[in-house]
Amino acid sequence: MNPNIILIGFMGCGKSTLGRRLAGRLGHEFLDSDDIITAKTGKSIAQIFSDEGETHFRELETEALRGLAAARGIVLATGGGAVLREENRTLLKNLGKVVWLHADPDTLFERASRSGRRPLLEVENPRSSFNSLLESRLPVYRATANLELDATGLSHEQVLEKLLRALDGWTAEIPAPQI
C-alpha cells in the first residue's frame, strides 16, 4: 500500500514546503500541480493568467489533475483554487487522501502576498480580494478534505510531525480526525 497524499488549502498555507518534506519522509515522489502546468506550457502561472486568463489556467489545472489519475506513491501539492471545480474535487478524492492545510487568515495573507507571484493577489486591494476568496473557499476545502491540519503557530517541522502522526494508522474506514 502506497497511498497518495493530496494537499489542498489556500495560497500561503505551506502546501509545497510541507509536501516536499512529507514526500521525503514517506519515500514518495513530490509533485506540485502548478509546476506541472509551468513545465508543460513553459510559462509561469502569472504569465498564463496575464496572457490567457484565469479560465484557461483552470483548464490547464484540470488537465494536469486528469493526467495524474494513475499515479501511485505521490504527495501532490495543489494550487489554492484546484478545489473549485467539481471535476477536480472528484479527481483529487479518487487520487488519494486529501489533507486540508490551513492557518489563521493573517498568517495566510502575510505568506501569500510575500512572493508577488500570485496573480489573484496582484490587485488594487489585495487584502479585500484575499478575504472574499478565503471566505468563499473555506467550505469547499472543508467539504473536500478527509483530514484538516491547522498549522497556526507551528514550525514546518511541527506541522510535518503532526501530519505524520495523523496519517499513521489512519485507514479509510475510520472517520477522518480533525487535528
| Binding test (CB under 6 A) with ligand S3P, winner from 119, 140, 148, 176 | 119
H-only helix segments in the chain: 15-26, 33-41, 45-52, 54-66, 86-95, 105-112, 126-144, 156-167
Size of the site for ligand S3P (CB under 6 A): 9
Establish if 34 lies at the interface with ligand S3P (CB under 6 A).
yes
176 counts as binding ligand S3P under rule CB under 6 A: no
Nearer to ligand S3P, 80 or 96 (CB): 80
Contacts of 166 (CB under 8 A, 6+ apart): 147, 149, 177, 179
DSSP class of 177 = P
Minimum separation from the CB atom of position 11 to ligand S3P (A):
4
H or E segment and range at residue 77: strand 74-77
Minimum distance from CB of 46 to ligand S3P (Å)?
7
- Residue showing cell 471545480: 85
The least distance separating ligand S3P from the CB of residue 1, rounded to whole angstroms, comes to 28
Taking CB positions, which residue lies at the least distance from ligand S3P? 79
14, 19, 79, 96: residue in contact with ligand S3P (rule CB under 6 A): 79
Of 91, 93, 130, nearest to 110 by C-alpha is 130
Using the contact rule CB under 6 A, the part of the chain among 20-28, 94-102, 117-125, 153-161 near ligand S3P is: 117-125
Give whichever of 81 and 105 is closer to ligand S3P, judged by the CB atom.
81
Asked whether position 80 contacts ligand S3P by CB under 6 A, the answer is yes
Beta-bridge partner residues of 102: 150
Per the CB < 8 A criterion, the answer to whether 29 and 74 are in contact is yes
Binding footprint of ligand S3P on the chain (CB under 6 A): 11, 34, 45, 79-81, 118-120
